[in-house]
A and B are shown apart, each in its own frame.
Chain A
């Protein structure tokens, strides 16, 4: 392990500071959304999670990512055992058996398994040097992804399981897919859609229907989507001011400190605040994707693509559902939403990316 001055000077402080800023903004609005019912409980908890995340981040920075990819089969196996453990011993929260409870702390191993899966994909996809991936390579990548994905699905967390797909998609796309594979997968997706529709649970189907007409059933399934839109729209351009949002402060907005933190932000900080936060995310993504050019090798590049696509997908799905553009799925907003697993896995991912960036001159 080589640590020298150059390593620190190459560290990308800007993206690190953007991530820290977003986390602190998140903590401010988590406090705003929960202070009425729980005072400072969630504020302190999230601060502790942030501290844990930073420790984790520092540790990842110290390890060469190649060490991780080289030993990824251990990590992958470990991850699957955890997921199985959750299925057996996990506790159920809002219909999902995806939580592992240790004392008062509850963790979602699936969040970490996503990162491990990326590492596994990096290892197997970066070996080739061709224009396109071969069929067997694609099959292998799909296999690597589908095992943890199916386990997460079995936990009942469909939204979280879905996030494996775009990661796989983006990484294989970047490695090169022949036109026929793209066509086949699109056709397959379309033919599976009706089957998927009927295999969904009733509430899941209704969520989809009400996305396009949340006024349809404002008291029932559409309630959350409608309350979210009310919170956002009533914020106006400059917002109602922190601690002043009636939707969030009076509890009309469910899951406000977790999945719907962006609605709280928009209600209290308005269009201006929402655009500022989206701008920070955009800047972060832009910067991170830029690292692909600097990456020393294909594996580093793929690692960046994988983590960035995971981050981007979480972000887009979450903001899309909060804005009422897509059905509600239980996906948190990275860095902003309350939750230790999400925050730590995000910093873990960022640590890996910055690791790639910082090590670009090490050969």
Chain B
């Protein structure tokens, strides 16, 4: 090692290296300034987004009770598996992971993502509902690799009695894109569960809860470290239905093997006590995302289980329409209790033979015409009355006008008039057509709820309360819908009540509806679903599809009507055989109920006032 080496050029080169390092340090300072000062807000925002996650707390829908406070529809907690799309790093590997764990097949998962494409990216995609413990274990043990998968607790609708009153209660489901654009569902967000049918839909806004949210601090593998801020969810408003569970159960049982409709209501205030439409469906199947094949099965069923026949379908009333005819005839002075007609089993009018009961009724007055349901008497009456008077009185009884019941999709039905035919068919009304209308055939078409309301209102002397399925909280509810009042002669009303009492209790067509001790009044109907001429052609095949619709419409008790019932059994044959026994069971159930001292029905507001 010599000490006389000349190291001066070396020092110059070292200085060069020092300067290079200095420059890089300056560069670092500039970059730190850029990150920490100039773009601090941007990065602070990203750091916040990293660590905060918003967990939606879904507000449960309001509980629905029957008129005695027994819960019919409640909520249960359901565990869902959801995916946060903004945290997915590799869709293909996520799909494989979910398929491997038997959570969801890859194809369905892709479809699900596709479905949510238009929704905001922070909106979690529900990929499986009502998961099993195995599912949860699988997800949790792989949480670190897939922090985008979360387990979420959400309230689910549960219909305690399955298909009981399914059409009335309705069902819920995820709001569709089309619905979001309508005023009815304003305020709903994509993915929200909304009422889609029945009370769930009509009272959707009241029933809907208020969603809350939970802000949580999460680490990089999605584990919640702390709750930062909680806005609790609120449950939706409770609803008290007018339905009586006991009566509804009796009605369901009676209708279980039939196709048709049943409605029982309190004519004094419009409270619907029972409402059945058959065939039906189980709304619980909609509370969880319904499978495509199950849905297809329901909507493609030729018997339309998704239709509420009580309000959504109208039918020929057949002979029950004679109640309206009798009232109109008396009010117009065309008939009186003493009027008499000879029935020989049919009559030729306007060159056409109209049938009545085989063998004929002989001489019939108005009372007998009602009790034994003589067509010839009403052919004559209809001929004298003319279509416009029929139409006028039918409308006064609320027929061909929606009742205004608090359920969606109610139809108006139809009672023809000359003006109607001119407007729709651009044709004159022929007098011969009136003959069919007089016995509730032809173009006449009425919903079961209209029928029950009409008979109840007539029994009360012309006061037609608006049917309702939800009990109002105060007297000021439903201010727009008032009972319709007609001033009809009370003698005529009394005569009609007596005649209808006779139908059930004095050798009439509706004796199967009788309840000892309870003065049931009513009228049967057997409505042909095909013309006589058509019947001739297929008589040989004798297929049940072409059998008549059986009706029974009635009220009880005779002098203080408290309950009105309309029963329709489609393809049931004769009203007296197929429909009257069903109505009888309902009257009996009601009678037993009001005579059981233990659980009296809470008196409604209107009947309270009436009693004073």
Q: A interface vs B, CB < 8 Å?
A: 66, 129, 131, 170, 173-176, 219-220, 227, 229-237, 246-247, 250-252, 266, 270-271, 274-275, 278, 282, 285-286, 289, 292-293, 296-299, 301, 305, 309, 312, 316, 319-320, 323-325, 363
Contacts and interface: CB of A to CB of B under 8 A. Distances in A.
Contact of B3 (A66, A236, A363): A363
A247 B36 contact: no
B36 A236 contact: yes
28 contacts: A129-B2, A129-B5, A131-B9, A176-B9, A176-B13, A219-B88, A220-B90, A229-B35, A234-B43, A234-B44, A234-B47, A235-B36, A236-B37, A237-B40, A246-B47, A246-B217, A250-B220, A252-B51, A266-B32, A285-B21, A289-B17, A297-B1, A297-B5, A298-B7, A309-B17, A324-B31, A324-B35, A325-B27
Contact of A250 (B17, B44, B219): B219
Contact of B17 (A170, A232, A237, A298): A170
A233 B38 CA distance: 9
B298 interface: no
B89 interface: yes
B42 A233 contact: yes
Contacts of A246: 47-48, 50-51, 217
Contacts of B31: 323-325
A292 B11 contact: yes
Contacts of B17: 170, 173-174, 289, 305, 309
A323 B32 contact: yes
10 closest Cβ pairs, A-B complex = A233-B43, A234-B47, A219-B89, A251-B220, A250-B219, A233-B35, A271-B36, A234-B44, A246-B51, A252-B220
Contacts of B132: none
Contact of A278 (B29, B40, B48): B29
Nearest to B50: A252
A236 B32 CA distance: 9
B299 interface: no
B440 to A, nearest CB: 71
Contacts of B178: none
B89 A250 contact: no
A64 to B, nearest CB: 11
Given A174-B13, A316-B21, 14 more contacts: A176-B9, A219-B89, A229-B43, A250-B218, A250-B225, A251-B221, A266-B32, A271-B36, A286-B18, A292-B10, A292-B14, A293-B11, A312-B21, A363-B3
B306 to A, nearest CB: 44
Contacts of B217: 246, 250
Contacts of B430: none
Contacts of A323: 28, 31-32, 35
Interface string B70-104: 00000000000000000111100000000000000
A99 B87 CA distance: 34
Nearest to B25: A282
B39 interface: yes
A301 B10 contact: yes
A301 B8 CA distance: 12
Interface string B28-64: 1101110111011011101110110000000000000
A271 B10 CA distance: 36
A293 B221 CA distance: 53
Contact of B10 (A174, A237, A274): A174
A273 to B, nearest CB: 10
A292 B17 CA distance: 13
A286 B25 CA distance: 12
Contacts of B46: 230, 233-234
Given A250-B219, A252-B51, A278-B29, A297 B43 contact: no
A144 B422 CA distance: 111
Interface in B215-239: 217-221, 225
Contacts of B88: 219
A203 to B, nearest CB: 15
Nearest to A363: B3
B147 to A, nearest CB: 11
Contacts of A230: 43, 46-47, 50
A54 to B, nearest CB: 27
B24 interface: yes
Nearest to B218: A250
Contacts of A271: 32-33, 36-37
A270 B36 CA distance: 7
B6 interface: yes
B21 A296 contact: no
Interface string B202-225: 000000000000000111110001
Q: Is the interface of B mostly helix, strand, loop or mixed?
A: helix
B1 A299 contact: yes
Contact of B5 (A220, A270, A298, A312): A298
Interface string B474-494: 000000000000000000000
Contacts of B43: 229-230, 232-234
Contacts of B48: 246
A266 B219 CA distance: 19
Nearest to B27: A325
Nearest to B13: A174
Nearest to A240: B47
Given A236-B44, A323-B32, A174 B14 contact: yes
A298 B10 contact: yes
Nearest to B42: A233
Contacts of B2: 129, 297
Given A219-B89, A236-B36, A325-B27, A289 B42 contact: no
Given A174-B13, A220-B89, A319-B28, A237 B36 contact: yes
B316 to A, nearest CB: 66
A276 B221 CA distance: 33
A233 B14 contact: no
B134 to A, nearest CB: 28
Nearest to B24: A316
Contacts of A363: 3
B412 to A, nearest CB: 58
| Most chain A beta-carbon neighbours within 10 Å: one of B25, B35, B50 | B35
Contacts of B28: 278, 319-320, 323, 325
B36 A266 contact: yes
Contacts of A229: 35, 43
Contacts of A236: 36-37, 40, 44
A90 B486 CA distance: 101
B148 to A, nearest CB: 10
Nearest to A302: B10
A232 B220 contact: no
A322 to B, nearest CB: 10
Nearest to A282: B25
A140 B142 CA distance: 54
Interface in B507-536: none
A309 B20 CA distance: 11
B35 A289 contact: no
Nearest to A279: B25
A137 B578 CA distance: 116
B3 A297 contact: yes
A173 B36 contact: no
Contacts of A312: 21
Contacts of A275: 29, 32
Contacts of B5: 129, 297-298
Contact of A232 (B3, B32, B221): B32
A293 B11 CA distance: 7
Interface in B87-144: 87-90
A173 B13 contact: yes
Q: By CB atoms of chain B within 10 A, which of A175, A233, A292, A293 has the most?
A: A233
A220 to B, nearest CB: 6
B14 A305 contact: yes
A170 B17 CA distance: 8
A233 B3 contact: no
Contacts of A251: 219-221
Contacts of B218: 250
Contact of A289 (B18, B25, B87): B18
